[in-house]
Amino acid sequence: MHNEHSDTHFQSRIDNGEHIEPKDYMPEGYRKHLIRQMSQHAHSEVIGMQPEGNWITRAPSLRAKQILLAKIQDEGGHGLYLYSAVETLGVSRAELIEQLQTGKAKYSSIFNYPALNWADIGAIGWLVDGAAIVNQVSLQRTSYGPYSRAMVRICKEESFHQRQGYEIMTTMMRGTKDQQAMAQDAMNRWWWPALMMFGPHDSDSPRSGDAVRWKIKRETNDELCQKFIDKTIPQAELIGLTIPDKNFKLDEKTGHYTLSPINWEEFHRVVAGHGPCNKQRLDHHIKHHQEGAWVREAAEAYKLKTAKKELVTA
């Protein structure tokens, strides 16, 4: 008989494909791993609002503006579900935000690149949300219940995001020569950073061992990246975009595309804080977090007031 509070019992529950719920026994390493990954995921959603937010006032039509507004609000919502899911692991949101703002917690490297023009909004939706969704569809089956359920809802919204991005790219590719050149330029700038979203190769991914054993990750970084490549290249070709890699080819035997090596030096540089927009993204977050302090204080004051009233009437 396994003690229901033992690591062996926990691992057998994982191996049986059970969900682990907040009040269930879990090894400390599992809890910490989830706090790290889920909070970084939440931070990515929230910081990810910035590159697109920059274009709300410059959207080319009312329709485009409404769609972009809805998409960015969705990303904010994803961040909130995810912060709530992380809180079930016994950590406060204030602590998580502090880790982000002091650089202790990461967020996806992709959001340290600038959105220079409207074509970038297309490329972000198509490639960045496209990459995010490949990863998140797999995370729907992750072992921690609240994370898995958050992913189900998030994926429904992400697929709309991916389509709105592809629609922008398609419209531009049907447009003038200048518009086509803008779309191609955005593709050239976002393609490689989008591939880096999947993280380092499996052979260089220190977190993958535990993540796979605990079924936090259901597919590895390399498997997911390959899925994204195989799905996206035909989409690019369909609308006349060129893959910015002269070595890419379809391996007829495996049915998979092969590419030139990813520039991991660039990835590590951006993750270490030296990408084009790292400072801008964190400064913006800190500024608006400080400006919103009164909202948090008002909510606390209201909570105290209603708690006192309840005491008096009890």
The residues that touch ligand FAQ, with contacts defined as CB under 6 A, are 36-37, 40-41, 44-45, 48, 75, 106, 108-109, 124, 128-129, 132, 135, 196-200, 205-208, 211, 221, 271
Output the smallest distance, CB 39 to ligand FAQ, in A.
9
CB of 49 to ligand FAQ, least distance (A): 6
How far apart (Å, rounded) are the C-alpha atoms in residues 82 and 36? 12
DSSP letter at 243 equals P
Alpha-carbon span 24 to 34, nearest angstrom: 14
Instruction: Name residues whose C-beta falls within 8 Å of residue 1's C-beta, 6 or more positions apart in sequence.
Output: none
Q: Which of 79, 224, 199, 63 is nearest to 142 (CA)?
A: 224
Residue 290, CB-side half-sphere exposure with 13 Å CA sphere: 6
Instruction: Please identify, using beta-carbon distances, which residue of 122 and 200 lies nearer to ligand FAQ.
Output: 200
Least separation in angstroms between CB 308 and ligand FAQ: 40
Separation of alpha carbons 61 and 6, rounded Å: 59
Taking the least distance from each CB to ligand FAQ, the nearer of 175 and 273 is 273
Closer to ligand FAQ at the Cβ: 224 or 293? Answer: 224
State the nearest-atom distance from the C-beta of 41 to ligand FAQ, in Å.
Answer: 3
Which bin fits 42, alpha (ψ -120 to 50), beta or left (φ > 0)?
alpha
Which token pair is 66? Answer: 């409404």
**Min dist. Cβ of residue 281 to ligand FAQ (A):** 12
What's the min distance (Å) between Cβ of 307 and ligand FAQ?
36
Structure tokens at 23: 């009040």
Minimum CB–partner distance for residue 295 and ligand FAQ (Å): 22
Please, which residue, 5 or 213, has the CB nearer to ligand FAQ? Answer: 213
When the beta carbons of 160 and 180 are compared against ligand FAQ, the nearer one is 160
Residue nearest to ligand FAQ (CB): 48
Residue number with CB closer to ligand FAQ (206 or 255): 206
Helix, strand, coil % over all residues of the chain, rounded to 5: 70, 5, 25
Residue 114 identity: P
Q: Are 56 and 65 in contact (CB under 8 A)?
A: yes
* C-alpha to C-alpha distance for 219 and 168, rounded to whole angstroms: 30
Pull the structure tokens for residue 6.
């033992």
Question: Closer to ligand FAQ at the Cβ: 174 or 213?
Answer: 213
